[in-house]
Amino acid sequence: MDKKNPLISVVVPVCNVEPYLDKCLDSIERQTWKELEIIIVDDASSDGSGRICDIHAGRDERIEAVHFPVNRGLAAARNEGVSRARGEYLAFVDSDDYVEPWFLERLWLSMRRSGAELGICGVDGFPAGEVPGTVLSPGEIVRCMVRRSPFLWNAWGKLYPTEVVKRYPFDGRALCCEDLVFFYQVLGRTKRAGYVPDKLYHYVYREKSIINNGVDERRCTVLSALDAICRDASARCPKLWPGLEQIALDTGARLAMQAVEGGVPKGELIRYLKRFCGHTRRHFHPQALRLCPCKKSLAAQGLLCVGWAAFLGFALAYKAVKKVKKGVWG
């Protein structure tokens, strides 16, 4: 190994992604950064994913394949990979996604040149947006997140010091928002991040993916996670607090719209909307509202603060307009 270049660990959690897995692993194996170890954790897949993991491990000595005998969830799979990581730096790649050959090299160079503790790149499938530079403070990152671009809470698409990742294991109790809690913790001890605007990470949209599956109790766990994050930020990270409050407001508004547009039965819909109203009122602060970049979201936030009936009338009207426009111009 070249002593000038540190070892980078890549952790790939796997569960029933047979159609996507070869492309994912091939893209990591072809990295221009050669000082590399790849840790694949198969979370008791019931399709051919486990066999594909073993094939890749058998032909590339940089790969370690781990198989869980029973399904333990994404958080446990990632934590297992992190516990085995020997690299100085670490990246996560989801097993249905893929990366450009220079993904790791560009992120590491960005961190080294800027003295940053975190590297972030653009993600294919998400708008680039306006970014104030290539070296960013945590506050600037949160403000970009408020504008929904280009940074995401997701653990993937980033390069971290391994010792930081080992300090903050993923919490399986957070269900579909474990990335949110993890990345907030990382931001809390980050002074600067290097940003590579090129889209080096390719997110593959799947209809059955958890984050694309409409509104249910599992997805709503993000609300309690945001409650805890905002409470913590108000005490420990006041510069981040207004932006995080706006993210909480926007998340509640988007879930409420998805519940209406997704055809949730009326009784269940009203129960969800009442929950979203309570969430909105907890985070409804002038400092947060001033940061909202979207008029539709701002209107939704205001109406959720008023009450579920006011919001429902707005949402149904908006849904009807969308349907008419689709019929005329679609």
3: pLDDT strictly greater than 60: no
Q: Which residues pair with 67 in a beta bridge?
A: 42
Task: Say how far apart CA 310 and CA 251 lie, in whole Å.
Answer: 18
Q: Do 196 and 218 share a domain, yes or no? A: no
For 60, the token pair is 């590339």
212: pLDDT strictly greater than 50: no
Classify residue 125 as left (phi > 0), alpha (psi -120 to 50) or beta: left
Q: Do 15 and 59 share a domain, yes or no? A: yes
At 122, is the secondary structure helix, strand, or coil? strand
Q: Do 165 and 233 share a domain, yes or no? A: no
Counting residues of the chain whose pLDDT is more than 90, the rounded percentage is 75
**Mean pLDDT, the chain, as a whole number?**
91
Residue among 145, 242, 222, 142 at smallest CA distance from 187: 142
Helix segments in the chain, DSSP class H: 18-29, 49-59, 74-84, 103-114, 138-146, 162-167, 178-188, 217-236, 241-261, 266-283, 286-289, 295-306, 308-329
Q: Domain of 67? A: 8-202
Q: Do 33 and 172 share a domain, yes or no? A: yes
At 193, is the secondary structure helix, strand, or coil? strand
Neighbours of 311 (CB within 10 A): 25
**Domain assignment of residue 158, yes or no:** yes
Q: Do 153 and 182 share a domain, yes or no? A: yes
- Crossing angle, helix 308-329 and helix 266-283, to 10 degrees? 110
**Given this model, what pLDDT does residue 201 score?**
96
Q: Do 169 and 279 share a domain, yes or no? A: no
Residue among 267, 262, 273 at smallest CA distance from 213: 262
Region 134-152 average pLDDT: 84
Q: Do 125 and 17 share a domain, yes or no? A: yes
CA 316, 321, 327: angle at the middle one, nearest 5?
125
Query: What type of residue is 84?
Result: R
- Whether the model clears a pTM of 0.95, i.e. scores above it, the answer is no
288: pLDDT strictly greater than 70: yes
**Domain assignment of residue 197, yes or no:** yes
**Domain assignment of residue 235, yes or no:** yes
Region 278-285 average pLDDT: 98
**Domain assignment of residue 80, yes or no:** yes
Number of domains in the chain: 2
329: pLDDT strictly greater than 50: no
The CATH number given to whatever domain includes residue 53 is 3.90.550.10
Q: Number of C-alpha atoms within 13 angstroms, CB side, residue 269?
A: 18
**Domain boundary residue among 160, 175, 202?**
202
85-119 residue pLDDT tens = 999 999 999 999 999 999 999 999 999 999 999 99
**Given this model, what pLDDT does residue 214 score?**
65
**Domain assignment of residue 209, yes or no:** no
**Domain assignment of residue 330, yes or no:** no
150: pLDDT strictly greater than 90: no
**Given this model, what pLDDT does residue 281 score?**
98
Q: Do 244 and 185 share a domain, yes or no? A: no
Selected residue with higher pLDDT from 146 and 29: 29
Neighbours of 97 (CB within 10 A): 25
Place 5 in a pLDDT band, splitting at 50, 70 and 90.
Answer: confident
The alpha carbon dihedral of 291, 293, 295, 299 has a sign of negative
**Domain assignment of residue 138, yes or no:** yes
197: pLDDT strictly greater than 70: yes
Q: Do 161 and 284 share a domain, yes or no? A: no
**Domain boundary residue among 202, 234, 250?**
202
The alpha carbon dihedral of 208, 199, 156, 36 has a sign of positive
Q: Do 238 and 136 share a domain, yes or no? A: no
192: pLDDT strictly greater than 90: yes
Q: Do 120 and 240 share a domain, yes or no? A: no
**Domain assignment of residue 323, yes or no:** no
For 34, the token pair is 């050669």
* 8 Å CB contact between 126 and 203: yes
Task: Say how far apart CA 139 and CA 151 lie, in whole Å.
Answer: 12
Q: Do 189 and 229 share a domain, yes or no? A: no
**Given this model, what pLDDT does residue 1 score?**
44
125: pLDDT strictly greater than 90: no
Place 298 in a pLDDT band, splitting at 50, 70 and 90.
Answer: very high
Secondary element (H or E) of residue 40: strand 36-42
Residue among 308, 295, 58, 93 at smallest CA distance from 203: 93
**Phi, psi (degrees; rounded to nearest 5) at 63:** -100, 135
**Domain boundary residue among 144, 172, 202?**
202
